[in-house]
Amino acid sequence: MAPQETAKDVGGGAMSDSEERSAGTGKLYTLTQIGQMASVSMPTLQKYKRNYQDRIPSVGEGRKQRYPFEAVAVLKELKAENLARRGRPPKAKSAKAASEPEAGARKLLTLTEISRITKISYPTVSRYVKVFLDRIPHVGVGRMRRFPKEAVAVFSQLRAESRPGRPPKAKTAAGSRGSEASNAALAARLQRLERAQNQLAREVASLAKILKKPLQVTIKGR
């Protein structure tokens, strides 16, 4: 009678003749053989072995571990349980979750998204955060800082208040002294050139006077 009692598996399907004969022999099987008889893949078998070791009958340890035929029914039972879990309907929302606003209304934006929406460059919006953080609504700090949708208007306002272009850099005292020295050297050079030009003009005028005088030629006889 005992072999007849093990002739049906947990799922209700009839076993083959060879399985029925193996059920009463006390023979031990490898994990691969048990999996083949239970129609369970090797990755799933390994998962069952890790998670349900206490439920699966076995003998020995490690590579010497073997399984009696009763393990087939246990594996089929585990397979049915896992299939049932996969088919569970989604959990209903709690009353608290139902009362909260929709996720889209509560979405927080990253600084990159702020840059894309406002069409302001990322370096500029980063500078606004550093300088005007007290005016910008935000949540979190550092790289985890996020911004609600109303922050978009604040960034746009900051952009409108900013003057286009950067103001010219103020000259330093050292730069001013260098510029003055350069201008003085240039003025001195111009003065020297002007004096040389005047001298040249005088020499040309003197030469012109000499050329205007009649030329006297004296020929001495022998």
pTM assigned to the model: 0.32
Whether the Cβ atoms of residue 41 and residue 5 lie closer than 8 Å to each other: no
Whether the Cβ atoms of residue 36 and residue 30 lie closer than 8 Å to each other: no
* Interatomic CA distance for residues 15 and 99, integer angstroms: 53
Domain ranges of the chain: 2-86, 104-160
> Locate tokens 């246990």: which residue?
74
Of 130, 122, 118, which Cα lies nearest the Cα of 156? 118
Residues in Cβ contact with 178 at an 8 Å cutoff, skipping those fewer than 6 apart: none
* Residues of the chain above pLDDT 90, percent: 27
- CATH number belonging to the domain at 2-86, selected among 3.30.1360, 1.10.1660, 3.30.450, 1.10.3470: 1.10.1660
What local confidence, expressed as pLDDT, does residue 150 receive?
A: 93
Q: Is pLDDT of 169 > 50? A: yes
Q: Is pLDDT of 14 > 50? A: no
Q: Where are the strands (E) in 49-106, listed by range?
A: 67-68
The predicted-structure confidence for 60-95, as pLDDT tens digits, reads as follows 888 888 989 998 999 898 888 888 776 655 565 555
Q: What is the CATH number of domain 104-160?
A: 1.10.1660.10
Residue 135 binned pLDDT confidence (cut-offs 50, 70, 90): very high
* 90 vs 150: which has the higher pLDDT: 150
Dihedral Cα 175, 178, 179, 183, nearest 10 deg: 170
Dihedral Cα 84, 86, 88, 94, nearest 10 deg: 140
Average pLDDT over residues 160-181: 66
Average pLDDT over residues 123-137: 93
The predicted-structure confidence for 196-220, as pLDDT tens digits, reads as follows 988 998 898 888 888 887 767 677 7
Residue 195 Cα to chain centre, angstroms: 70
Indicate the residue type of 209: K
